[in-house]
Each structure stands twice: as structure tokens, then as C-alpha cells.
Amino acid sequence: MIVITGGAGFIGSNLVAALEERGETELVVADRLGSDDKWRNLAKRELADLITPEELLPFLDAHRGTVRAVFHMGAISATTERDADLIVRSNLRLSLDLFDWCARRGARLIYASSAATYGDGAEGFDDDGSLAALARLRPLNAYGWSKHAFDRRVARLVASGAALPPQWAGLKFFNVYGPNEGHKGAMMSVVAKTYPRAARGEVATLFRSHRPEYADGGQLRDFVWVGDCVDVMLWLYDHPEVSGLFNCGSGRARSFLDLTRAVYAALGTTARVEYVDTPLEIREKYQYFTEARLERLRAAGYGRATTPLEEGVRRYVQDFLARPDPYR
């Protein structure tokens, strides 16, 4: 049995699809579906069970000995969420409990960290999982801090010789885009937000730069195709001897203007862009540059090339967004 927390979400549902395509039939998703169309992310999947996060630990106890691995993708991922107590309960406390359960029961754990742990990038984007390196990072929001707090606790447990899962791996996801993100609302990728305007032939909107060293639309992010993230997780699953904290990105920073142009190009048109001020509530916490360093992942043995931005956007637009059924 494989358990996927957040399995109805964006990255989680893409992972569930890939596991099913590999022939896995004992897949259990722990997630909340709510009252919108999030359920459609799983509508094509065959599941052994679907449980709520509150049922997760009792479920695991009831099925101890049969759970091979837990993919922990579930979290409150909104960088604008202000309820820090809720974030701690969902992102930190549950993660600690899962790590402990996997260590005690001999199950493997692959979990989602985040590039938000790097804060403004002043310390770079090196996925050094040592206690000293992690202590230097300063996340800019409660979401990033919650992910960072768990990374630091894992590092402490490793350093102290505590009991560990037989495999543990954290992935610092950068700016992921791809199918099954429609439920995320304001947290959707710029590709998903831009596509409707591009399809109608309208002008796209991007944030204006508020730093002189960056042109409007020239803010740089590491945009990564969700399929690449899934490939890394499957590779880790196939290599139980590999543990550690790893970046998961494309390895190349590109501008929001590049991304927007790629959306229009996938539709065979030319982008027209207007710029609006970055909202004051996020302006001081806005990242102007992110770029995943992938040396540690490569050194661990992962050799697959990442998908170029234009190709990933083309797949997303033509194979999903432009179709009557945009779900994977």
C-alpha cells in the first residue's frame, strides 16, 4: 500500500496518476475535497481508499505492516495564509507525527518541502540539509517557515542518531505548473491564470517591478513542469537507498515575461502585456529571483533532463487547458 497525503491536490494528484500508470493498485489518498471541483483531480483514478487528514494516523495504525511508503504532499500551501496556528497544525505537527510513525513502522517517507524556505534568496538556493546551513535561512511567510521548521527538525533527528524511516527525502519544490491546479484559486500558476486571457485574445497582466535592477516582467523564477517533479519522486521511490533534502526545480531561472510569451505562443499568437503594481501586502515579501541548484540531486544519481519552459507550457496549454477536459 502507498499512502499519498494531499493526493487530491495539484502535485499529489499528478503523482497518484503516475503511480497508477505504473500499475500500482493499492493507492490511498488522504485529503479534503471540499465543495468545489477538486474531486475531478481524482475522477479518473482507481483508489483503494480516500480518507480525511484527521483519519490518517488511525488508518496507518490499522494498516501497519502493509504501508510501504508515504508520499506526504498535503499542506496549507497558500503563502498568504495568516493563521499561523492552523499552518502549524497542518504543516508541521502532522509532518512530525508522520515522520515518527514511519520511523517506528519501517515505512518510507517522501515529503514536500518548498523553495519558500529560502526566503529572499540572500543565502542562495543550495539544498544543504545540514543544521548550520538550514539555520541561516529566513523564510518570508508562515508557509515557508512551517516547511523550514520541519526540515530543521529532520536535520536534528538525523544528526542526533535518532530512529529514522528506512528512506526519508524532502523535496524543495520551486514554481510548479501543470494540470490539476484549478482548485488553488489565487495560488494557481501564472500559466493557468494567463491562459483564459490569451485564449480570448486579451492582454495579459503581470506585476510591475519595484526594484530598479529588474525590468517590469523581468522578475526571475525557477518554473518547473509538474511532470518533472513527479519523475523525481518516482525515481526516489525506485531508489530506497537515497535519503536527503533536495531541490526540485528546472535549474534555470526564467522571467515571468518569458512564461507569458510561452502561453501565447502555445496558442499560436503573440503576447500583449500590461503591468500592475504588486499589492502592498506582499510587496516586501515578493521573491525577485529563484533558481534551484540541482547538484545534490544529480550527485545522488538522478540524471533525467528537466523540461524546457516553452515545451512544458506547450504541453500544459495544448494537452490540458485547451481541451474540454483539462484534468489529468
Which residues participate in catalysis according to the annotation?
A: 143, 184
Determine the Cα–Cα distance for residues 275 and 279; give it in Å rounded to an integer: 12
Which regions of the chain does DSSP assign to beta strands (E)?
2-5, 27-30, 49-51, 69-72, 108-114, 168-173, 175-177, 204-207, 220-221, 223-225, 244-248, 254-255, 273-276
Give per-residue burial for 180-200: e unless 16+ CB within 10 Å, then b: bbbbeeeebbbbbbbbebbee
Cβ–Cβ < 8 Å for 28, 2: yes
Determine the Cα–Cα distance for residues 157 and 102; give it in Å rounded to an integer: 13
Place of cell 487528514: 53
What sign has the CA pseudo-torsion 296, 298, 299, 301? positive
Name the CA dihedral angle for 175, 181, 185, 191, rounded to a multiple of 10 degrees.
60
Of 129, 107, 108, nearest in space to 117 by CA:
129
- SS3 state of residue 273: strand
- CA–chain centroid gap for 69, Å, is 18
Q: What angle do CA 79, 80, 81 make, to 5 degrees?
A: 95
The one-letter amino acid at 260: T
